[in-house]
Amino acid sequence: MTRTTILTLLSAVLFPLALPNELFTFGNPLLGIVALVPYYLAIRDTREAQSASRLGALFGAVSTLLGNYWLMFFGEFSVWTIGGPTVGYIAYNYVLAGFLWRATREPPAYRPILFALVWTLYEYLKSIGFLAYPWGLAAYPFSELSLFTQIVEVTGVWGLTLVAIYANAAAAEVISPRDAVPSSAARSGATQSGATQSGAAHLMMTAVLIVTVGLYGVVRLNAVIPVRTTLDLVLIQQNADAWNTRDIARPLLITQQETERALAELEQSPDLVVWSETSLRYFYQEDSAWYARNPPERPFLEFISELPAPLMTGGPLQNPEDEFAIHNAVLLIEPDTQVRQWYGKRHLVPFAELIPFWETDAVRRFFDRIVGIGGVWTPGPGTRLFSISGRDGSQVEIATPICFEDAFAYLNRSYVLAGADLIVNLTNNSWSRTNSAQIQHFVAARFRAIESRRGLVRSTNSGYTTIIDPWGRVVASRPMFVTTHLSATVPVYAPERESVYTIFGDWLPRSVAVLLAILFAGTCVRRWRLDPKKRAPLAPFLEN
């Protein structure tokens, strides 16, 4: 086994350990700033791009399996849920390593920042589009360090990723200063002493960045965000078995009973009761006869009619305007048992909730017979907010991202631009039966509160049920994998001005893309000028 292979494997183990896992519940920030040091050295010290790409494939395979091991617990679909992302990230990292290798061909003065820029752009690209999967970002090990996370209101989570990767690359240059390849040394005129000086300079620049980000955090953590009103919420964590498809009535009864216990503890009625994603398994309106009879001990329609507040819950919905559109939805059911408002999940899980070319017979047969998926959801028809009346009579606009939708920065930004005052996420991660799956989801979501400076409420089936303030701090929570509830008065914040991220969105990674494109074009032009064979056909024109 070669030195570069060992270094790559070391990072492939350390990087998942830096992220939330069963050993470090919320991740490990110390590992976050050194986990990729061995991988940087492996890529830098590899002489050929093809060899670097093979190291990238190895890193992608091992880090994905270790960081997303909980995907192996998706019942009979586990071979697809863990196999698909692993194969995908082998391919992604194979390509990424080629670009990282090219970045490390530059002189020591430039290559750490170029390495960080390339990695930041990669994390952005893997977090958008149909196959988007914003898990395992380099920023996540630092989610508990509120002093350093405040910067994401300006840069999005990408700014924290950029600093973290740059810190790794700078540390690598200090540990092992080297003129990566002879050609690089020849172009730059660098010496070993110059490489050492560059490493020290990068380390100093890292310190400056960390201090700057920290000082910004001090200012923002002490800033006051006005509270316009409050909402009294009751969140129900029923801890139902996600794999139970036989006894649908029993989990519903447990949820109802926990709701009644929560309401009995209150001195006054809440403004809203919130259940988790897929709390209702059958269509509420089309299967109303079932809900009129079940659960037998306490029929759901009877339960609803006696609630002192509207119920917000997850369940399937047939679009009233399109009978062929079936949504994974949030329903707002009033005590008169009528659905007054609803939202359909917009960003569906690829190849699980949404399958390309599903209308094609061959595709449908493959997923039905081989994979075991017999139907798909329809993406929701755009942004929809829920209007809830507070106790003082004011209207509060609530966005309700479903499940992993609260991990997508661009999506939650669209809710805020549409007028959302509060974000309430309904999710169900219980199928994994692991803490790390639920905490990784939570860590990704909590950055949305900071980016938009809005409160974030997460109502889950089995955890992690939390209330998060606009600074990303957990105000209240409940333990995972227990039947419980969380009753709280939630402030509705009204920032005097929108955050930079809300206004400009993902300006940082897009700027990085433009910068890297310009640098790449400049490199191509420089090489063309230095290559007589390429210049020969145009020599007469150049001479004139």
Residue 46: inside a domain? yes
Non-local CB neighbours of 59 within 8 Å, separated by 6+ positions: 8, 11, 12, 39, 93, 97
235 and 273 inside one domain = yes
Check which CATH number belongs to the domain holding 231 and give it: 3.60.110.10
Torsion angles phi and psi, residue 76, rounded to 5: -70, -10
Query: Residue 474 in contact with residue 468, Cβ under 8 Å?
Result: yes
State yes or no: is 403 an active-site residue. Answer: yes
Angle at 315 between CA 314 and CA 319, to 5 degrees: 115
Residue type, 62: V
- Kindly report whether the peptide bond that precedes residue 166 is cis, defined as omega within 30 degrees of 0: no
Residues 413 and 490 in one domain: yes
What DSSP string runs through 379-416? PPSS---EEEE-TTS-EEEEE--BGGGGG-HHHHHHHH
| pLDDT score recorded for residue 192 | 62
Output the pLDDT for position 185.
43
105 domain-assigned: yes
Residue where a domain terminates, one of 183, 203, 223: 223
Of residues 345, 353, 405, 451, which has the active-site annotation?
345
Please check whether residues 238 and 183 belong to one and the same domain.
no
Told to judge if 534 belongs to the known catalytic residues of this protein, a careful annotator would answer no
Longest Cα separation, the chain: 94
Kindly state whether residue 405 falls inside one of the protein's structural domains: yes
Same domain, 368 and 231: no
Q: Which two tokens stand for residue 161?
A: 């990723």
250 and 164 co-located in one domain: no
Query: How many independent structural domains does the chain possess?
Result: 3
The closest of 312, 517, 515, 277 to 422, measured between CA atoms, is: 312
Q: Which residues contact 410 (CB under 8 A, 6 or more apart)?
A: 128, 505, 506
Using DSSP, state whether 322 is helix, strand or coil.
coil
Query: How far is residue 362 from each of residues 79, 83, 348, measured CA to CA in Å?
Result: 21, 22, 22
Distance of CA 207 to the CA centre of its chain: 27
**Type of residue numbered 465:** T
Parts of the chain with a pLDDT under 70: 179-195, 528, 530-544
Is residue 431 classed as helix, strand or coil in its secondary structure?
helix
Same domain, 294 and 205: no
Does 544 reside within a domain?
A: no
| Edge-to-edge strands, sheet with 474-477 | 386-389, 395-399, 422-427, 455-460, 466-468, 474-477
pLDDT of residue 528: 67
Instruction: Please give the Cα distance from 383 to 200 (Å, whole number).
Output: 49
User: Are 330 and 403 in a shared domain?
Assistant: yes
Using the CB atoms, write b or e for 479-489: b if 16+ within 10 Å.
Answer: ebeebbbbbbe
Active-site residue (options: 106, 144, 258, 277): 277
pLDDT for position 538: 44
Q: Is the Cβ–Cβ distance between 265 and 301 less than 8 Å?
A: no
**Contact predicate 136/85, CB 8 Å:** no
Range of the domain at 166: 3-223
Which DSSP string corresponds to 173-233? Answer: HHHS----SHHHHHHHT--HHHHHHHHHHHHHHHHHHHHHHHHHHHHHHT----EEEEEEE
pLDDT, tens digit, 9 for 90 and up, residues 189-225: 445 666 678 888 999 999 999 999 999 999 999 999 9
| Same domain as 487, residue 413 | yes
**Residue 39 identity (one-letter amino acid):** Y
Whether 521 maps to a domain, the answer reads no
pLDDT, residue 391, reads 78
Pair (75, 163) in one structural domain: yes
Shortest CA distance to 143 belongs to which of 429, 451, 357? Answer: 451
Q: Assess whether 374 and 483 both reside in one domain.
A: no
For every residue of 475-512, DSSP letters joined together read EEE--TTS-EEEEEEEEEE--SS--HHHHH-SHHHHHH
pLDDT at residue 190 in the model: 46
Alpha helices in 19-48 (DSSP H): 29-32, 37-44
SS3 call for 46? coil
Q: How far apart are CA 164 and CA 158, in angstroms?
A: 10
120 assigned to some structural domain: yes
Residue 95 CB partners (closer than 8 Å, separation 6+): 53, 56
pLDDT at position 187: 45
In a domain, 473, yes or no: yes
Which residues on adjacent β-strands are paired with residue 484?
237
Q: How far apart are CA 17 and CA 25, in angstroms?
A: 10
Identity at 184, one-letter amino acid code: S
The answer on 437 and 490 residing in a single domain is yes
Centre a 10 Å sphere on the Cβ of residue 15 and count the other Cβ atoms it contains.
24
For residue 422, give the nearest of 431, 432, 410, 412 by alpha carbon. 412
Query: Could you tell me the two tokens for 205?
Result: 């620049």
Phi/psi of residue 124, each to 5°? -65, -45
Catalytic residue flag (residue 345): yes
Phi–psi pair at 120, nearest 5 degrees: -60, -45
Dihedral sign computed on CA atoms, order 99, 120, 404, 19: positive
> For 71-114, what is each residue's pLDDT tens digit?
988 877 788 889 999 999 999 999 999 999 999 999 999 999 99
Rg for the chain (alpha carbons), in Å?
A: 26
pLDDT, position 189: 47
Catalytic residue among 106, 126, 153, 403: 403
Could you tell me which of 122, 125, 199 has the C-alpha nearest to residue 168?
199
Distance CA 304, CA 333 (A): 8
- What does the alpha-carbon distance between residue 70 and residue 509 come to, in Å, rounded to a whole number? 29
- For residue 368, the model assigns a pLDDT of 82
Domain boundary among 174, 197, 223: 223
| Contact (CB, 8 A) for 39 and 59 | yes
- Asked if residue 537 is part of any domain, the answer here is no
Are both 290 and 339 inside the same structural domain? Answer: yes
